[in-house]
Amino acid sequence: MSSPEPMAREKPRGLTRILRAAGASGKGLLVAPMLLVLIVELLNSAVEATVDRIGPERHVLAGLAKDIGSAAVLLSFVLLGVVWLLVLMGHY
């Protein structure tokens, strides 16, 4: 007697496939805000190093560049906090 062959699963097609792919992509989006914070922090550090390298004197535009970089880091942290709050509340 031969053993019965296992039934092959059919691959999802159409809308089912798209919905499953979107769900998997959505899970990866929880990591994106953490990476965004790191990327923005690196860019802010680059701006600050460049401004500091140009000269030690204070200049309005140098201060503005540093302030904008810091604001970008703050906004990325706010985004991270909102994402984690939604995760903890169970809405994601």
Name the residue type at position 71.
A
41 is catalytic: yes
Which of 10, 41, 48, 57 is labelled catalytic? 41
Phi and psi of 83, rounded to 5°? -60, -45
Taking the CA atoms of residue 60, residue 61, residue 67 and residue 68 in that order, the dihedral angle to the nearest 10 degrees is 150
Catalytic residues: 41
